[in-house]
Amino acid sequence: MKYFDAHIHLTDDHFSSYIDYILFSLRSLNIRACSVTVNLTTSKKSLMLFNNQNDIITQFIGIHPEFALKDSIEEFKELFISNLKHIDGIGEIGLDPTYVTQGEIQYSNQKKIFHLLLELAEKYNKPISIHSRKSLDEILNILSSYKIKNSLLHWFNGNKKQLQQAMDMNIFVSYGPVLLYSSDKKVLLSRTCTDKLLVETDGPVRYSNCFNYIPSSSISHLLSVIKCIGDILNLEFGDVSNLLKTNSEKFLTKNI
């Protein structure tokens, strides 16, 4: 069985010293990883590291809202277009007022970059991976104006109403290791359309309720998430794995 980690930051500096080990582990565990980037620097790093690793790496490049005011969108476009054959999607992109320190003008610029990245995804028919912290209603409204190949609300953190809206819009949502201990996430998972469900690790994320808040980087956590989904939905591990494989291939519109 092939597994798909829908969102992981393999270009993060935390992974740099042992990226070869991670690639070996991915092959050993039969996991394909969707490596997302957050800015120009990590996007260039991704293309340098993974252009010859397409048997296990799906490359998304993007500008995270944290870096929306720091990176050149024109330079990003150049990089994107010149490497189209190696790029499977655009991400991590989105909105996040948490990173706004100078008021509405700064947030307007963040939205401008998000719109430009959505236009790029629409033009080149690429799926997207979205960061939506404290901005989900606005993002859902914006997405309704675009014809995007497929959209993923990674690390879904909305409410039941927002989840239903995402389902009605045929948007994928993904859950990570927090699902193992969060009752709220388990409720959301139980209300998620099974054909719009994906899993992720978001490594090297820090978990507030486990691992002593040390950055976690074990890609094997993905299998624990799959097992947890089976427990919640009363499905066997193999059945969940098959379901997720089908969903992953629908999201990417390619075999994993």
158-195 residue pLDDT tens:
999 999 999 999 999 999 999 999 999 999 999 999 99
Tens-digit pLDDT profile for residues 22-67: 999 999 999 999 999 999 999 999 999 999 999 999 999 999 999 9
Question: pLDDT band at 209, cuts 50/70/90?
Answer: low
Give me the phi and psi of 157, to 5 degrees please: -135, 30
Distance, CA of 3 to CA of 141 (rounded, Å): 31
Phi, psi of 58 (to 5 degrees): -105, 125
Query: What are φ and ψ of residue 176, in 5° steps?
Result: -115, -165
Percentages helix, strand, coil for the chain, rounded to the nearest 5? 50, 15, 35
> Is 153 within 8 Å of 174 (Cβ atoms)?
yes
pLDDT per residue over 75-122, tens digit each? 999 999 999 999 999 999 999 999 988 767 789 999 999 999 999 999
> What is the pTM (predicted TM-score) of this model?
0.95
How far is Cα 229 from Cα 250, in angstroms, rounded to an integer? 19
Topology of domain 3-252 in CATH is TIM Barrel (3.20.20)
In Å, how far are 132, 182, 219 from 26, measured between CA atoms? 27, 26, 8
